[in-house]
Amino acid sequence: MSVTVKVPSLLRKYTNGQELLKVPGYSPMECLHNLVVQFPSIRKWLYDKQGELRPHVWFLVNGKRINADELTNPLRDGDELFIFLVLGGG
């Protein structure tokens, strides 16, 4: 099954400039794993040293934000997973 992963502009240098990627996976977590396998240098932006997702990384499935406990929920073929970086500043 294939899901479209939309990569934010700040991370596109790690995906060879690609914004939209077809990534296999049956859940958001599986898609993220496969994205990191395909583009290992993106890992440091998504996961901390302990392998936990960074808190500033949010995810949307088909435009709806999902919580961390929903990352194992099933996806359907053709769904879109958007990686969203929450950046603060002042």
Instruction: Note down the domain range covering 44.
Output: 2-85
d(CA 67, CA 39): 24
- What is the model's pLDDT at position 47? 94
Reported as a pLDDT band with limits 50, 70 and 90, residue 89 is low
Q: Is the pLDDT of residue 87 over 80?
A: no
- Return the pLDDT at 68: 87
Q: How many folded domains does the chain comprise?
A: 1
Q: Does any domain span residue 70?
A: yes
Q: What's the CATH number where 80 sits?
A: 3.10.20.30
pLDDT tens-place string over residues 3-62: 999 999 999 999 999 999 999 999 999 999 999 999 999 999 999 999 999 999 999 999
- The predicted model scores a pTM of 0.89
Give the containing element (helix H, strand E) for 37: helix 28-38
In a domain, residue 90? The reply is: no
Q: Is residue 33 part of a domain?
A: yes
Q: For residue 19, is it within any domain?
A: yes
Q: Is residue 60 part of a domain?
A: yes
**Which pLDDT belongs to residue 50?**
95
